[in-house]
Amino acid sequence: MAKLTPQVFNMFLSRGNVFPLSVDERSLTLGFPPNSYIDWMRDNYGKDIEQAVQTASGKALKISFQVLSEEEFVTRSAKFGKVALKASEPLRELPASAPAVVSAKDHRLDSLNSNYTFDSFVVGPNTSFAYNACRQVAQTPGLSYNPLFIHGPSGLGKTHLMQAIAREVCRNNAKATVEYLTSERFGNLYIEACNKFRGNMVDFRRRFRKVDVLLIDDVQFFAGKAGMQEEFFHTFEELYNDHKQIVLASDRIPEELAGLSARLISRFAWGVTVDITLPDLSTRKAILNEKQQNSLIKLPSNIIEYLATRVRSNVRTLESCLRSLQAFISLSGDQDQPVTKALVDDLCGSHFDQDAALQLTVARVQEVVAHYFDVRVQEMRGKSRQAEITQARQVAMFLSRELTGKSLPTIAAAFEKTHPTVLHSIRTIERKVKESDEFRQTLADISRKLSGDNN
């Protein structure tokens, strides 16, 4: 946990710089000035603030951070009798990279991160298909790809693209009704409506079934919640039949969403499914350079390369490391001090990827598995159903999924198969692992050989 120093407190948390917006038995919402470095505050001092609030109140409250509009900030500052800084003045040259209220006049965009636009999204080989599909949906909602289902590991840009769609639709159509929220938020609103008078459920349904565009993030969290799934199913049906746009995001493809009803899974796959995979080195460097465009503190190219090399699996973590370095330099008061690899290690080392297997390719997995089972790679890619070839193929598909981070469609292409075939192979191997200690040892042996490639 970072130490909340007096300098940080005076700069960000003193009276006139932060305001309590709402509080109840479970949560406290704090409002910050425009251009606040709120992501950096949350990442580095969120736990300290929660602990301080708990000490003062005697309650473990959930702390939420919100950037105020310029108008609201000035109003609240005047009410408290102190304006710590002008609404347009940046905080000690820290870059404005926090979620912000876009405009007090456009409440449709209040819940969106102002930085999540198509223009600010760095497109690489891992995201080009998803990016182009999202742009098309934003231009012609309900007509192009419906539903659009975006999947990929956490922190690679799904939320960015979804909010970019919402923002673009609002920009193109002043009358469009757009709802963006997480499945958790949808579920909480559903429970709240169920627990109140019957009329609240009517209002709930009207809210979500009369929109032009509905975007639901993290739909995997609907798993196991039968009531919410039932409600969302009927919402989906009504919107789809009315040719309204539906955009969904998850960390897995529809077929892998365990705990969801078959009819929901089938509808998720009705439209177009696009994936976001791990970015390559050049894309990670481009992301870092893009994210520091509006900052007065620029990191040298060798440090950008070093950071991009050490953080490979999560774009959000990569950006957090960049913000930490920029904030450290700004708060130190010496912007000319050299940024060394040792400093990067000290500030960001805990975020570095330790799993060298992330460098593995599907092709390398195929080679090692083929050699282990004494078959040829081309045979695994072919149509042979001989037992030894089938087993080698299934093991290679399973390990490709486990060790490379590649999506099922990408693995399927490498084996010249369909992604349902890959999914079947993965489940077959998972069953064999549970049933046979000898087979589990075989997988462990192959995994060690693959890990040895990167040691």
Residue 94 scores a pLDDT above 50: no
- DSSP symbols for 275-293: E-----HHHHHHHHHHHTT
Name the H helices within 210-253: 226-241
pLDDT tens digit sequence for 306-316: 888 888 777 88
User: Tokens 């009358």 identify what position?
Assistant: 175
Q: What are phi and psi of 65, to 5 degrees?
A: -110, 135
pLDDT tens digit sequence for 153-191: 888 889 999 999 999 999 898 889 999 999 989 988 888
Residue 111 bridge partners (DSSP): none
CATH of 128-275, one of 3.20.20.70, 3.40.50.300, 3.40.50.620, 3.40.50.800: 3.40.50.300
CATH number for region 357-452:
1.10.1750.10
Kindly state the tokens that stand for 282: 């050049």
Residue 213 bridge partners (DSSP): 178, 245
Which pLDDT does position 127 carry in this prediction? 87
* Separation between Cα atoms, residue 257 and residue 121, nearest integer Å: 27
Which pLDDT does position 284 carry in this prediction? 87
Instruction: State what percent of residues in the chain have pLDDT above 70.
Output: 79
Q: Are the beta carbons of 394 and 425 closer than 8 angstroms?
A: yes
39 pLDDT tier (thresholds 50, 70, 90): low
pLDDT tens digit sequence for 346-362: 888 777 765 443 467 88
Q: Are the beta carbons of 187 and 222 closer than 8 angstroms?
A: yes
Kindly state the tokens that stand for 416: 């010249």
Helices (H) and strands (E) in the chain, counts: 19, 8
Q: Does domain 283-353 have CATH number 3.90.1170.50?
A: no
Percent helix, strand and coil across the chain, each to the nearest 5: 55, 10, 35
Which pLDDT does position 198 carry in this prediction? 55
- pTM beyond 0.95: the answer is no
* Separation between Cα atoms, residue 61 and residue 54, nearest integer Å: 7
Report the chain's C-alpha Rg in angstroms.
Answer: 25
Handedness of CA 239, 240, 242, 245 (dihedral sign): positive
Which pLDDT does position 403 carry in this prediction? 77
Which range, 47-61, 97-111, 250-264, is most confident? 250-264
* Separation between Cα atoms, residue 20 and residue 403, nearest integer Å: 45
Look up residue 84 and give its amino acid: A
What lies within 8 Å, CB to CB, of 258 at 6+ separation is 223
More confident residue, 388 or 93: 388
* Separation between Cα atoms, residue 200 and residue 194, nearest integer Å: 7
Determine the Cα angle at 268 with ends 267 and 274, to 5°.
145
Residue 80 scores a pLDDT above 70: no
| Strand 148-151 to 245-250 pairing | parallel
* Separation between Cα atoms, residue 312 and residue 279, nearest integer Å: 7
Q: Are the beta carbons of 175 and 132 closer than 8 angstroms?
A: no
Nearest to 166 by CA among 219, 216, 99, 221: 216
Sequence spans of domains, the chain = 6-101, 128-275, 283-353, 357-452
Output the average pLDDT for the chain.
Answer: 79
Which pLDDT does position 124 carry in this prediction? 84
Identify the CATH class of 6-101. alpha beta
pLDDT tens digit sequence for 237-264: 999 999 999 999 998 888 888 889 999 9
Which pLDDT does position 113 carry in this prediction? 81
Which pLDDT does position 215 carry in this prediction? 95
Residue 147 scores a pLDDT above 70: yes
More confident residue, 419 or 78: 419
pLDDT tens digit sequence for 130-146: 999 999 999 999 987 99
